[in-house]
Chains A and B, each alone.
Chain A
């Protein structure tokens, strides 16, 4: 009873969007925990449901969306809370950095107001107090000449500066958890690194939890404690970042890593690609959703429920019927639970 409950506790979350052709299951039974101060990477290709997961936590779903399961943030169920109660959490408990700051900043509202409005609402401070704090925040995120920036409009700033401002806005009410949804995808490569370093720095100095969402495994590699891999709305693998990278168990993670160029890859070797595409989210395969694209597929993969998460060593879980064995790693049979279907 001594262990504190995790900061964010997502349990069996389902998010779907009603369409004329039936519901699109964007997130389909995902559980994930983030401890206070922990950095978790959430990885998957576009359409895997990672952004919808983030939007569900923040309550930013379109009108035709439905949800089930629970999202406990500091003990409050964000799915069941009233609009007022939920809004009170957004800012002080959880904040979000969006992919493209050029679109996520209101083009006709001054930077100053966009930073201070949340503070005025949540912290109960005056506008002038909030402006003073905003100057401090902009300095913290490395925006030069912060006082003048407050009266600027977003179009007067570069993409990198805008993303720094986005981060300052997210930090304004000192959230316990920051969700960064592809925070660098819209930026130049040189600026990407600066922004990621900035996120690292503010997280460490503030002891803040971080969910770093990316389609790029390499991006989360050195910057997170744990990583979760999503495919077609399902969680396929989750564990300590190093373990997932060094010994990926799920065939999808394995293929994803193999398709990512790295400095270690010999220049003569052709890069591998994953054949096929994501399944139709309206009628996904009954068993493992990666099975149609998987080279290790057998009939056992198509049994409904075949893609449940299996516990592995050191909290490294995966949803694969035929988990990968890497050279030098423990043979699969030694760690696989007895009930695991084998072929």
Chain B
């Protein structure tokens, strides 16, 4: 298991290096001079040259990257061109909001989709299977910018269950924090629930045709027990993979929901920085997302080892 984990970690580091290199390279690859774009067409050549030197754009790409990486590992991701705020500070300030949102959404999605898929798969073509599969199709088809306002309308404005918008930090009380976080998280979770349900339902279906399921049933074990104990684990490989990918995606991709609920998350930071052409902030924030993504997927890979003892064995060989 140790060798297995070590291999995954090395692979993850390589991926992070490659991905952050692309992030840095974006600056040079982007058409036109970045300095001109930032300063405007009327800028003096001196000012342009000065900014290019400050951004390191006059150096070769590899030197730019080494410089960026050197700074980054010491925690220096640069200073925002727009707000003069330290990028690391800006990212770290917003990261908890996005992480909580993504994590909460993921937990909600798994809590809802797993029982839904189990119920559907245990009785194929039954009413419960049809209803659950239909709901999943609807959820998959609805984009977040439709789901989120609908949730706000019914649950906040009509029912008054949740605040319409805004955020409370966990430090200011967990209850208040969850009260604000729950509705946006549900909004983020709905398409994930749909995808998870469909995937797990399909994998369960093939697992339930395995001999070892018949054998478990032949021991007189209850339907419930066979599903949870014998069918769920061997069916959840694709689900774990997808959940890992989803989590990574959500960290960078809750922009719309953050906008609808006016949440101070990473998504709104990136969106704002892009419109202000604040490349340094975008660079830092994207690098963070890349790292989060890779770390999560590595954890998923290692998770396979816990899920299936055979994976551990193979990796050691």
Chain A positions within 8 Å of B, measured between CB atoms, are 55, 58-60, 63, 83, 86-92, 95-96, 98, 100, 103-109, 113-114, 117-118, 121-122, 153, 155, 166, 169, 172-173
Contact = CB atoms under 8 A, between A and B. Distances in A.
Given A98-B211, A104-B212, A105-B212, A90 B218 contact: yes
B5 interface: no
B310 interface: yes
Contact of A90 (B211, B212, B219): B219
Nearest to B232: A108
A83 B223 contact: yes
Contacts of B216: 106, 114
A155 B310 contact: yes
B222 interface: yes
Contact of A104 (B214, B221, B234): B214
- 5 cross-chain pairs, A with B, having the tightest CB-CB distances, nearest first: A90-B220, A118-B219, A103-B211, A104-B215, A87-B220
Contact of B230 (A59, A100, A109, A122): A109
Nearest to B309: A153
| Interface of chain B: mostly helix, strand, loop or mixed | helix
Nearest to B209: A62
Given A87-B222, A108-B308, A60 B229 contact: no
Contact of B220 (A55, A88, A100, A153): A88
Nearest to B307: A108
Contacts of B313: 155
Given A83-B223, A98-B211, A108 B218 contact: no
Nearest to B233: A108
Nearest to B215: A104
B214 A60 contact: yes
B310 A118 contact: no
A100 B234 CA distance: 18
B145 interface: no
Interface string B197-238: 000000000000011101111111111010001100110000
B124 A63 contact: yes
A300 B17 CA distance: 83
Nearest to B222: A87
B229 A117 contact: yes
A95 B218 contact: yes
A117 to B, nearest CB: 6
A106 B234 contact: yes
A108 B234 CA distance: 7
B220 A89 contact: yes
